[in-house]
Amino acid sequence: MWRILLVAITINSQAATPDRNFSLDPKQQSALGVTLTTVQIAKSEPLQASATVTVPTGREVAVTAPYPGQMVRISAGIGDTVKAGAPLGQFVSPSAGDARRLQQEATIESRLAQSVLDREQALFEDGLIPAARVQAARAKVEAAQAVVRAREAEVNASGMQFESSVSRKRGETPSGVAAGYATGSLRAPIAGVITEVFTPVGQRVDAGAVLFRLVDVSQLQLDIQLAPEKAALLKVGDAVTLPQRQANAVVTGISQAVDSSQLARVRARIQSHGNLQLGELLSVQVHPGVRKAGAGWTVPSRSLTQWQGMPVLFVATSTGFSVKSVEVLSSNDDTSVVAGPLSADSKVALSGIASLRALLQSGR
């Protein structure tokens, strides 16, 4: 029966390419097991997912101890909103005093070297010494100035604002450390909210220990976790809604890998904060969208097949079928969303796809 049908069906003599028509009457379709289904306009069904409210990269900073020492006063606490440069607390460290002493000594040495250079230059102009002595003195000045720059960079890198005068009560600084000289004020590097204070007053810490954590909450984002097959349906620009919190967001990034829990991560920028709070875990709705103008159709995934390296559908016509090339926008085991020359009344082959491919192949 199969061989007779293959001979009886006449296929166009044109080259077998997508968008090709061929004849097949209803009896032949039935004999080949071909059934049809109507395409549906693609709808954006929301995906349920869990998300954490975070901040974008670069909007969270940690204030660390520049030297071994201790906090002797804390001026801002958890939840406080501070401006850039606002004092966070007083930090005392003998190492800070040593760094300032070395800076001052380097400054003095630089001034002395400059004085020697000025004297040598005057003597050289009077013809009393050779030029080599002036060159040697100038080299010492340059070396001394380099030491000054290095010492200044070390002190400035500490981020501490040192006191210029001493006006403290007795007992506020550790014994053996000059009050004010080894005491500096730690300042907020950015404007934001203090989310953590790690060190209590009086506790000694090592250099590099985190003392405060600040977050700029003017811009928040959602860190969304989705199953990989759901994340594959999304694109940058898709909407994210949180109806219960009067907030919404837009997808800005989709991970191409999964984490240890085998979930994909999606990043969304929050456009309306509503009553969201940093760090909270909540449920969100992600709305995958179709962006092909005038073409967004849902078809059974088994209706799709490959022909000449392109995905195609067998679309029913009055005399048989037309092979239509389409672009697959998203797909899973059951349904696919495609873009292509279809209409609301288009019917595509649901079964018998292998037979239709064989007929198409035999016409080459």
* pLDDT > 90? residue 96: no
How far is residue 31 from each of residues 6, 24, 38, 101, 305, measured CA to CA in Å?
Answer: 11, 11, 21, 98, 21
- Check residue 293 and give its pLDDT: 44
- Check residue 276 and give its pLDDT: 86
Nearest CA to 360 among 1, 2, 15, 5?
Answer: 15
Mean pLDDT for the chain?
Answer: 83
Nearest CA to 285 among 330, 332, 234, 328?
Answer: 234
The count of other CB atoms within 10 Å of the CB of residue 87 is: 15
Inter-residue contact 125 to 119 (CB < 8 Å): no
Write down the pTM of the prediction.
Answer: 0.55
* pLDDT > 80? residue 80: yes
- Check residue 290 and give its pLDDT: 53
* pLDDT > 70? residue 196: yes
* pLDDT > 50? residue 169: no
- Check residue 13 and give its pLDDT: 33
Inter-residue contact 324 to 282 (CB < 8 Å): no
* pLDDT > 70? residue 324: yes
Cα 349 from Cα 303, distance rounded (Å)? 6
Which amino acid appears at position 150 of this protein? A
- Check residue 18 and give its pLDDT: 57
- Check residue 9 and give its pLDDT: 43
* pLDDT > 50? residue 166: no
Domains of the chain, start order: 8-42+293-362 (2.40.420.20), 47-56+219-287 (2.40.30.170), 60-215 (2.40.50.100)
Higher-pLDDT residue of 345, 20: 345
Residues in Cβ contact with 105 at an 8 Å cutoff, skipping those fewer than 6 apart: none
Q: How does strand 81-82 pair with strand 264-272?
A: unpaired
- Give the pLDDT confidence of 213-235 residue by residue, as tens digits: 999 888 889 999 988 888 887 88
Percentage of residues in the chain having pLDDT higher than 90: 28
* pLDDT > 50? residue 292: no
